[in-house]
Amino acid sequence: MLRYTGHPFVDVGVATITAFAGKQEPSQLTEADLDRVADYITREYTRQPLISFLTVAFPNSGFTQPAYRDQPEKRLIYAERTLRAYRSDIPVLQVADVFTGRPAVNVSFDVKGELKPGHTFRQHIPLLTGENVINFFPGGDAGLPVSGATMLALQAFPLGCAKCSGRLLAVHSDNEELTLHFARTFLEGNRRAIQLAQEAGSTKMPEPQYAYRTLLIHTLLEASAMQREAMQDEQLFSLTAYHLTNSGQGVGLDIYHLPLEIIGFLRDMNQAEYRQEWKAIMQRAWEVAPAKKGGKSDDKPFQPHYNWLYEDLFSLPDSAGRFVRTYFLRVALRYARGQETDPRANYSLQREADLVSWKITERFLRRIMHMDKERVEHIRILGDRLAEYVSTQNDRRFFRDFFTLQRYDHLRTALIKANLAWVRQGGQPLVTLDPYIAVFEEGDEVVRADWRLARDLVLIRMVEQLYLKGWLGQNVSAIPEIAEEVESTEEQSTHEEV
């Protein structure tokens, strides 16, 4: 009776009905399952708190229409005619459902609950135009024709969304299992919130603990599709979130996309090889409790709303350089210092060198930045050699300079000096021409645009190796405490005189 169509609103509604029925596939649904969903919607959409909640989805519908405020029987008539149009005894039109191709039904009603010719409009489907507006519809025929089953899915859609910041958060994926996971999780949360609001006599549903992007990643990581270990033969997938309002006071839509590269990286991080180290990095990204002022005591425990690593995932790959520097090299963010709950303001390599992991960084480079495998290997080897040089020669000055220099010519000079010093001691050259060019330059003295990123990557490998050798623990004061510039490294000029 129902199937996924590729349209996010319909698919989230279909997944919500499937989850409500306790099924795994829409193909398993029966008419009895649809009846139970229709019964639940009829009962809950015609009373608080959902009458208020639904104004962000279906303004001026029979569920939210102010004219029905004192006439609950009209709401019930509207619900009956709108929700149960999937039944076999309902007459169909000579047009096809635009989503499924099945025969459409007449689902338009006036404020008195009387059937009238027409299709679906803004009060039935979020973000459509209002009645009698023919723009964007074929043949000048206002509205969209839909089947009865599709109409039920669209009405169930808000139950499979989270309400965040006064809007609906709907999540859709080309992986049907993931779409179902989000719909089921949000449905369960909404049903609990509905019950709590009704017990308290409130017209407002409590919102989730987390901000919407943090909630999105938190829910994603709980999906079984993200937690399976044997993933070699599994196809990767992407995810798109729609943060929307259809309110009569103003519509709005923000779209957040997580491409398969980021999904693949997050799945990799759940493997045993990475899990513990990655979990430690994620835990240090949660919002921290603000300092108590004036000796005041508060028995209510602090509830974080943001995980900044989760939030910053949505800026990838554009801000990959800053992401690497912040989370993998543990450099504090200067602009975060004005926000006392932002933990990134206090990141410190002196205190958190144990969180620096080359294998996680290397996976990030391959999955998200698509960095050439040969260049990644040259970076690793250079980091190993420089770590050996620093620990053997106890060259604290070189380590500090390599960390802090902001001009490419100064960095190159520091490497040349270290190279010469090491060779005079009888060692093999730390760096030779071809690997050096692969890491830092495009060709003959043409500096790479991302040379600062390359330097940070070499540092990550150096720091990890120096930590394992014990040198870092004995030379903590050699680690500079610097804050990232407000601009990302990609935005800074990369064409200094050489």
Express each pLDDT in 417-427 by its tens digit: 999 999 998 88
Q: Which of 70, 66, 48 is nearest to 201 (CA)?
A: 48
Spatial separation of the C-alpha atoms in residues 182 and 171, rounded to whole Å = 7
Residue 315 in this model has a pLDDT that exceeds 50: yes
Spatial separation of the C-alpha atoms in residues 99 and 147, rounded to whole Å = 9
Residue-level pLDDT at 353? 95
| Better-predicted residue by pLDDT, 440 or 62 | 440
Spatial separation of the C-alpha atoms in residues 100 and 284, rounded to whole Å = 46
CB 316 within 8 Å of CB 368: yes
Place of tokens 């690593």: 309
Cα dihedral sign, 365-367-368-369 = positive
**Domain range list for the chain:** 8-227, 358-491
Residue-level pLDDT at 294? 62
Residue-level pLDDT at 339? 83
Q: Which of 54, 436, 68 is nearest to 246 (CA)?
A: 54
Which residues touch 486 (CB under 8 Å, ≥6 apart)? 334, 335
Which H or E element spans position 154? helix 148-156
| Better-predicted residue by pLDDT, 492 or 36 | 36
Q: Is the peptide bond before 317 cis (omega within 30 degrees of 0)?
A: yes
Q: How open is the CA angle 363-369-374, to the nearest 5 degrees? A: 70
**pLDDT, average across residues 163-190:** 95
Residue-level pLDDT at 111? 47
The helix/strand/coil state of 468 is helix
Direct distance between the N- and C-terminal alpha carbons of the chain, in angstroms, rounded to an integer = 69
Residue-level pLDDT at 80? 86
Residue-level pLDDT at 492? 40
Which residues touch 70 (CB under 8 Å, ≥6 apart)? none
Spatial separation of the C-alpha atoms in residues 132 and 141, rounded to whole Å = 9
Residues in the chain: 498
Q: Which DSSP string do the residues of 420-486 spell out, in sequence order?
A: HHHHHTTPPPS--HHHHHHHHEEETTEE-TTHHHHHHHHHHHHHHHHHHHTHHHH-GGGS---EE-S
pLDDT tens digits along 203-244: 898 889 999 999 999 999 999 888 776 555 567 899 999 999
By the 10 Å C-beta count (0-12 exposed, 13-18 middle, 19+ buried), 477 is classed as: exposed
Spatial separation of the C-alpha atoms in residues 146 and 156, rounded to whole Å = 15
Which of 14-18, 54-58, 308-312 is the least confident region?
54-58
Nearest-Å Rg of the Cα atoms of the chain is 29
- Taking CA atoms, 396 is separated from 213, 375, 383, 420, in Å, by 41, 27, 15, 16
Pairing relationship of beta strands 162-164 and 441-443 according to DSSP bridges = unpaired
Spatial separation of the C-alpha atoms in residues 133 and 137, rounded to whole Å = 9
Which residues touch 394 (CB under 8 Å, ≥6 apart)? 471, 475
Q: Which amino acid is it at 190?
A: N
Which of 36-45, 46-55, 335-344 is the least confident region?
335-344
Pairing relationship of beta strands 239-245 and 441-443 according to DSSP bridges = unpaired
Residue 275 in this model has a pLDDT that exceeds 80: yes
Residue-level pLDDT at 489? 41
Residue-level pLDDT at 44? 93
Q: Against a cut of 0.85, is the pTM above it? A: yes
Give per-residue burial for 166-203: e unless 16+ CB within 10 Å, then b.
ebbbbbbbebbebbbbbbbbbbebbeebbeebbeeeee
| Better-predicted residue by pLDDT, 132 or 277 | 277
Neighbours of 496 (CB within 10 A): 13
Residue-level pLDDT at 496? 36
By the 10 Å C-beta count (0-12 exposed, 13-18 middle, 19+ buried), 116 is classed as: exposed
Which residues touch 438 (CB under 8 Å, ≥6 apart)? 374, 375, 378
pLDDT tens digits along 364-373: 999 999 999 9
Residue-level pLDDT at 117? 47
Place of tokens 């029979």: 62
Residue 49 in this model has a pLDDT that exceeds 60: yes
The helix/strand/coil state of 389 is helix
Residue-level pLDDT at 387? 96
Residue 498 in this model has a pLDDT that exceeds 70: no
Residue 431 in this model has a pLDDT that exceeds 80: yes
Q: Is the peptide bond before 290 cis (omega within 30 degrees of 0)?
A: no
Residue 296 in this model has a pLDDT that exceeds 80: no
Residue 54 in this model has a pLDDT that exceeds 60: yes
Mean pLDDT of the chain: 88
Residue 192 in this model has a pLDDT that exceeds 80: yes
Phi, psi of 194 (to 5 degrees): -60, -45
Q: Which of 33, 129, 35, 127 is nearest to 80 (CA)?
A: 35
Residue-level pLDDT at 375? 96
